[in-house]
Amino acid sequence: MTSMKGRLALLRADVRGRVRRSGAQRAEILAAYDHSGVSAAEFARLVGVKYPTLAGWLHRRGRPGKAPAVRFVEAAVPTPEAPTPLELELPGGARLRLTEPGQVPLVVALLRGLVSC
């Protein structure tokens, strides 16, 4: 049995012995973890959840569900006599500053890697 917000609730297990928790129970556990100030492993031990389960919940919660899609646009950049740094702003506020033409292949590889994530 467990106490959730002052009430007792019977935790039901499936045939493999796994305790199933509702979405509301998971949200409550994750909110408590956010305010606990302890490591995930320690928190899992304290609340009786296996660490891999808690880590999975944290991983799924951390995924950007409605993040804007990354879109590429083609731009023609004039090349003046004195090179001017080119600054790219990515979704989420990250900025890339290119100061040399040789950095372009590195940025292209980085952006392709971010798209595949």
Domain spans of the chain? 2-62, 69-117
Distance CA(53)–CA(59), nearest Å, equals 10
Q: Which element (helix H / strand E) includes 89?
A: strand 86-89
Lowest mean pLDDT among 3-7, 18-22, 23-27, 81-85: 3-7
pLDDT band at 1 (very low <50, low <70, confident <90, very high): very low
pTM for the whole structure: 0.45
The whole-number pLDDT of residue 79 equals 66
- Give me the phi and psi of 44, to 5 degrees please: -60, -40
- The mean pLDDT of 72-93, rounded to a whole number, is 74
Take residue 44 and report the two structure tokens written for it.
Answer: 């899992």
The whole-number pLDDT of residue 16 equals 76
pLDDT band at 10 (very low <50, low <70, confident <90, very high): low
